[in-house]
Structure 1
């Protein structure tokens, strides 16, 4: 490993939501392992690209998605996933969550049903409800921490006339599944059978354990490109969320025109800022950035092994889901505390700010989501506090 991530970098009072949110008063120092960003410094190549942009001294209007930018995005996914993207199908949004809101406006009408596989990333539900669509849950089947899709239920929901499509989380946040090729193709088959669309959130695609491989949905099912939109971003992979840039892959020409009309013309959201462009190109084209990402994945795997071993030793009745992708640990602690509000209060007393499982839906009650993308010493303190709190 070129990069090592044990250094503690003080992010307090820097305006970062992870550390500077207004947390409840607590007798202990706050330890936030909730929102999904990393407490790691960015790759040197990205830092250098941003410094060079600063040195230009003038920060006027930029030209947006240049051929060099589009080629950087296409080159990354070609090299990493053997997925060939048409550069003209890349559209800008300031993040995957706002992109989902735009897509719901473009691809459905008020009152339409949209499927989500719960427990799942909670902004999905929020954006469906905010756009006056209807959440249709396809609960995942939990087999002692290992989750799988209930395809009988999914087909029943797909068959409904009021349901227009599905938001797929791939890799899945929070349960950590990397969906297999067979699982993904079954989803596409159902979408084709019942004429539904799929919005595939693949923002965690680069954050994968060494024994697993992410499958881009459009690569697997190019024949279904007119019913699939894939949401990607450098933000999770390279810790660039504050630069607010994502790349939305839209092949359907009707939706492209609607995106242009609604997002670009009506909302005037035409492209990323100059610093996001520089950082994204450096992330996707520099060997140093790729090395950094490999080292992050290795370090997170080590954090996972450490946390898993400690929790299993001191909380033997807790169930930890296998983490195939993301840098998030999903832990079932219902054996120690069944009431989700009491569990949250218990964590707060220890100064632990985690993403409480109930946020992800009814099926998440009694779970904790722990962000492992931080120095080992922070993980050690978190696990100790977690075990102490639940023993009490």
Structure 2
């Protein structure tokens, strides 16, 4: 009989240095204690007991000196990739990074020059923009096509942008944050074909690749062909899957030796060596002992996304919370309210005491949307939804059923 994990107990992260909790209290210091932020993508859930207990045991036995990669770590990563994704990798292909965002910054610097264009499918996770802009490259937006809450790639526009000689790199988000799409194999093949035809390299951010809703299948882009595996940098990590964002470890898979050396050389310029003793151990514990916890976590996210979707369908007229295919982030459409940027944020924060990630931070195509983090106990989520309903009912009764 499988063990039942606790996904109901909320652990307050007030005054513990949690980025999103501190951000919330800095702006609104007098908030009641039962308000939980649904913004930044880490979980309001206890981590797997196997990881917790395993780290305690490790600390009892280990010396936390400079620690690099070792056999047990490589075996855990290789096994997880094969088992969960049918992704055959060799240990030489694995480059560690303190985070996928760091890897995006290093990739942009390693594989493009100043003023080169980097293509992104928008709206998209905001550090994509930072990695490009702060390194003096040009953000080339290829807006996704939205049709009643479902997003698809504008391949005609993408091909046109790929043909422009100055555009050298595509940063792909797969599954896509914030819109929750899991790209089909057909869509990924098309992306790959266009990239290969136009000499585009691809950085594929697949950090959410484990987090799939029932019946969905993720395809690791670089597994689609030998040619594609030679131009792709695949960014993965145990951090989203197991709520380990604070341990500083990501597994960047680069098959092409020339690209791998360029990436490592770029890391070296900022002395970005990963000596994360606890990070390596947590990764091993996650990938070898915590799969049952993760399976139960997926059930919670599937339940939570359906809870939000049903709530919006039953309570509101023109506001939409479509079901997602992957990630634990739901993209909610509040455009009908007619509130722009900060206005919508202010309404959410002050009238509803709800703290989402603002849609506009994901680019201009995110205006009027909010992203909700579903990785929280269901009863906490339901309380937030009720506050939202009461606030909208009071201020915008026409949108309530």
**TM-score category, normalised to shorter length:** over 0.9
1:244-296 alpha-carbon deviations (Å, 9 max, x no partner): 110111122222222232213x333333411011110011111xx10111101
Deviation at residue 34 of structure 1 after TM alignment = 0.2
Would you identify which runs of 4 or more consecutive aligned residues in structure 1 move more than 6 Å?
none
How far off is 1:322 after superposition? 2.8
> Is the partner of 1:256 in helix, strand or coil?
helix
Q: Is the 8 A contact 2:358 2:371 kept in 1?
A: yes
Map 1:323-342; keep pairs closer than 5 Å: 323-342=324-343
After TM superposition, the structure 1 = structure 2 runs for residues 133-172 of structure 1, keeping only pairs within 5 Å, are 133-172=137-176
Match of 2:293 in 1: 292
Is 1:360 aligned with 2:362? yes
- State how many pairs are aligned: 388
- Within 5 Å, which residues of 2 pair with 1:38-77? 38-56=43-61, 58-62=63-67, 64-77=68-81
CA contact (8 A) 1:46 1:283 kept: yes
Aligned residue among 369, 372, 388 for 2:374: 372
Matched position secondary structure for 2:252: strand
Q: Per the alignment, do residues 314 and 26 of structure 1 end up closer, same or farther by CA in structure 2, a change over 3 Å counting? A: farther
Deviations 1:294-323 (A, max 9, x none): 101101111111111112211221122330
SS in 1 for 2:230: helix
| 2:260 aligned with 1:259 | no
**For 1:320, what is the secondary structure of its paired residue?**
coil
SS at match of 1:343: helix
Shift of 1:354: 0.8
Give distance in 1, aligned partners of 2:266 and 2:130.
20
Shift of 1:390: 2.7
CA drift at 1:26: 6.6
Structure 1 unaligned blocks of 5 or more: none
Contact 1:358 1:364 in 2 (8 A): yes
Q: Which moved more, 1:163-172 or 1:335-344?
A: 335-344
Provide the C-alpha distance between the structure 1 equivalents of 2:272 and 2:336, rounded to a whole number of angstroms: 47
Q: Is the 8 A contact 2:234 2:252 kept in 1?
A: yes
Please report the TM-score for the alignment, with normalisation by the length of structure 1.
0.96
Structure with higher RCO (Cα < 8 A, 6+ apart)? 1
Q: Is the Cα–Cα contact under 8 Å of residues 336 and 390 in structure 1 kept in the other structure?
A: no
Contact 1:176 1:321 in 2 (8 A): no
What SS does structure 2 have at the residue aligned with 1:335? Answer: helix
Q: How does 1:118-129 map to 2 (within 5 A)?
A: 118-129=122-133
Query: Alignment RMSD, CA only?
Result: 1.4
1:196 corresponds to: 200
1:3 matched to which residue of 2? Answer: 5
**Residue 278 (structure 1) aligns with:** 281
Label 1:26 to 1:310 Cα distance change in 2 as closer, same or farther (>3 A).
Answer: farther
User: Could you tell me which residue of structure 2 aligns to residue 37 of structure 1?
Assistant: 42
SS of 1:23's equivalent?
Answer: helix
Given the alignment, which residue of 24, 27, 31 partners 1:24? 27
- Which residue of 83, 86, 100 corresponds with 2:87? 83
Cα distance in structure 1, aligned partners of 2:294 and 2:275? 22
SS at structure 1 position matched to 2:330: strand
SS state at 2:125 partner: coil
- The Cα of 1:28 is off from its aligned counterpart by 4.2
Structure 2: gaps (5+ residues): 396-401
* 1:103 maps to 2:107: yes
